[in-house]
């Protein structure tokens, strides 16, 4: 029951930010659909991070959809303590590693510390709309994970192209 209350509070708080939603459920991992890119890493403590990005080629005014799936593959509860108050986030980076989008956001420092029970799966969905003016066309990398910028601990980067 406490976990459900935690999920509800986090969902409402993140939803209030505008572009972030969090849904906790068991998810299967079918092969990526055409136009998707998926990256994956499993940490030493058993927390697996999967990042699905769609589409990998964006035209002006299109929206980039990100789905970060966190799975505790261990037999112990895994806890994360975000240092900047933001639990999840993402960044769009130049090939040199410079963050160009989205603009940094402020996060409440009172967010609960996420604990992932053995076998638990949490899915975080995020999106970003490219206006065509905010950053120039070109090739970029997307990272998503813990922290405001998603780079405190993240899945491997996925390359995208803005046309």
| pTM, two decimal places | 0.74
**121 to each of 22, 61, 102, 138, 143, how far by Cα in Å?**
11, 32, 26, 34, 19
CATH of 2-27+35-162, one of 3.40.50.300, 3.40.50.12780, 1.10.630.10, 2.60.40.3880: 2.60.40.3880
pLDDT of residue 103: 85
Query: Using one digit for the tens of pLDDT, what is the confidence trace for 135-147?
Result: 999 999 999 998 8
Query: Using one digit for the tens of pLDDT, what is the confidence trace for 68-114?
Result: 999 999 999 998 876 667 788 899 999 999 999 998 877 765 556 67
Query: Which DSSP state fits 144?
Result: E
pLDDT of residue 109: 56
Query: Using one digit for the tens of pLDDT, what is the confidence trace for 7-48?
Result: 443 443 333 333 333 332 223 334 434 467 788 888 889 999
Q: Tell me the domain boundaries of the chain.
A: 2-27+35-162
Rg of the chain over CA atoms, in angstroms? 15
What pLDDT band is residue 128 in, cutting at 50, 70 and 90?
Answer: very high
pLDDT of residue 110: 55
State the average pLDDT over residues 4-9: 42
């Amino acid at each position: 029951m406490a976990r459900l209350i935690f999920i509800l509070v986090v969902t409402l708080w993140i939803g209030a930010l505008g572009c972030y939603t969090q849904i906790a459920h068991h998810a299967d991992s079918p092969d990526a659909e055409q136009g998707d890119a998926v990256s994956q890493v499993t940490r030493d403590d058993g927390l697996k991070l999967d990042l699905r990005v769609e589409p990998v080629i964006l035209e002006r005014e299109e929206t980039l959809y990100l789905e970060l799936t966190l799975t505790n593959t261990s037999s112990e509860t895994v806890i994360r303590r975000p240092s900047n108050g933001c639990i999840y986030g993402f960044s769009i980076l130049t090939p040199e590693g410079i963050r160009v989008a989205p603009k940094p956001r402020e996060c409440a420092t009172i967010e609960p510390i996420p604990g992932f029970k053995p076998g638990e799966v949490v899915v975080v969905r995020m999106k970003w709309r490219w206006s065509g003016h905010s950053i120039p066309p070109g090739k970029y990398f997307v990272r998503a994970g813990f922290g405001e910028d998603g780079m405190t601990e993240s899945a491997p980067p996925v390359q995208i192209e803005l046309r």
